């Protein structure tokens, strides 16, 4: 018996990194997983699992595409038990005055506006089924500022408050809403990092290493499962102790 047997899950940003790890882990625990990404990379993820992963191409910043995705879930499964709202982007580091309006909007359209679209439509389906669990992917950056990434940090700070607010709004509807807030995670985002960057980054982490995507997936699994039935409105930091000091 898996911890998510008979559950239907949507994972956005499922093509790589944290989203891929969540997709594979949830499928291994018995859930049918609708693996959502913008570029088709989730097709390969579905080939790596022994569980049931259904790839679906969707741009979360496009409200029509998001609505269609949820309607497909409604038509095919009649319910949605779990949403892992994970899709997110960043851009090249720069100071605030160097951002173009288009760059700022690009980050917000995916990280915040897109998260809103997916939550709004998912909650409507969860209400039809009598409840569910939402796990948003935020960041340690929602608590601890760093220079040169103000749009990303602002979007994740907003995700934390969105998590808390919606948790209160739907607590009596059987819908729990929580967030995972990773620090530096070993994902493809660091593949092209300049020499010495990773060493400097790791030196700031008390545990002395980057977080593995599977470790974030384990936290997301706990929050999504019935084991966390009394937890809502929480923002869980997983950063190897970096924010402790």
CATH classification at residue 15: 3.40.50.720
E-only strand ranges, 131-227? 132-137, 175-182
Rounded Cα distance between 149 and 160, Å, is: 17
Instruction: Give domain status of residue 245, yes or no.
Output: no
> What pLDDT score does 194 carry?
77
Query: Tokens 């620090």 label which residue?
Result: 183
- For the record, the structure tokens of 72 come out as 């497909």
Pairs from 98-105 (Cβ < 8 Å, separation ≥ 24): 99/150, 99/151, 103/151, 104/151
- For the record, the structure tokens of 230 come out as 């009394």
Rounded Cα distance between 55 and 222, Å, is: 23
Taking residues 113-122, report their average pLDDT: 98
Task: Choose among 54, 57, 76, 53: nearest CA to 65.
Answer: 57
Instruction: Give domain status of residue 124, yes or no.
Output: yes
Across the strands, what pairs with 236?
A: 180
> Does pLDDT of 67 surpass 80?
yes
Which of 56, 99, 152, 236 is the catalytic position?
152
Angle subtended by helix axes 115-129 and 150-169, to nearest 10: 20
Rounded Cα distance between 10 and 23, Å, is: 9
Task: Give catalytic status of residue 236 as yes or no.
Answer: no
Asked whether the CA dihedral 199, 205, 209, 213 is positive or negative, the reply is negative
pTM: 0.95
The predicted-structure confidence for 158-195, as pLDDT tens digits, reads as follows 999 999 999 999 999 999 999 999 999 998 878 777 78
Reduce the DSSP state of residue 216 to 3 states and report it: helix
Taking residues 215-244, report their average pLDDT: 97
Instruction: Give domain status of residue 58, yes or no.
Output: yes
Instruction: Give domain status of residue 2, yes or no.
Output: no
Instruction: Give domain status of residue 244, yes or no.
Output: no
Structural domains in the chain (count): 1
Instruction: Give domain status of residue 64, yes or no.
Output: yes
| Structural domain range at position 153 | 8-236
Instruction: Give domain status of residue 150, yes or no.
Output: yes
Instruction: Give domain status of residue 230, yes or no.
Output: yes
What dihedral angle (degrees, nearest 10) is formed by the CA atoms of 139, 69, 77, 42? -60
Rounded Cα distance between 237 and 245, Å, is: 13
CB 177 within 8 A of CB 170: yes
> What pLDDT score does 46 carry?
76
Across the strands, what pairs with 198?
A: none
């Amino acid at each position: 018996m898996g911890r998510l047997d008979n559950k239907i899950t949507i994972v956005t940003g499922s093509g790589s990194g944290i989203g891929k790890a969540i997709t594979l882990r949830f499928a291994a625990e018995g859930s049918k997983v609708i693996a959502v990404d913008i570029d088709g990379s989730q097709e390969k993820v579905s080939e790596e699992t022994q569980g049931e992963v259904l790839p679906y191409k969707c741009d979360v910043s496009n409200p029509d595409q998001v609505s269609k995705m949820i309607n497909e879930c409604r038509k095919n499964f009649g319910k949605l038990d779990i949403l892992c709202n994970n899709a997110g982007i960043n851009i090249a580091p720069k100071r605030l005055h160097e951002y173009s309006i288009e760059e700022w909007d690009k980050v917000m359209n995916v990280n915040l506006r897109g998260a809103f679209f997916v939550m709004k439509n998912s909650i409507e389906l969860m209400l039809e089924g009598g409840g569910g669990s939402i796990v948003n992917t935020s960041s340690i950056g929602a608590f601890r500022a760093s220079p040169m990434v103000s749009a990303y940090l602002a979007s994740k700070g907003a995700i934390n408050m969105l998590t808390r607010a919606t948790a209160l709004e739907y607590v009596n509807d059987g819908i729990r809403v929580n967030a995972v807030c990773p620090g530096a995670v070993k994902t493809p985002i660091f593949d092209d990092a300049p020499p010495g960057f990773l060493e400097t980054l790791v030196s700031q982490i008390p545990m002395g290493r980057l977080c593995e995507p599977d470790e974030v997936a384990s936290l997301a699994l706990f929050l999504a499962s019935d084991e966390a039935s009394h937890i809502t409105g929480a923002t869980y930091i997983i950063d190897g102790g970096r924010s402790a000091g």
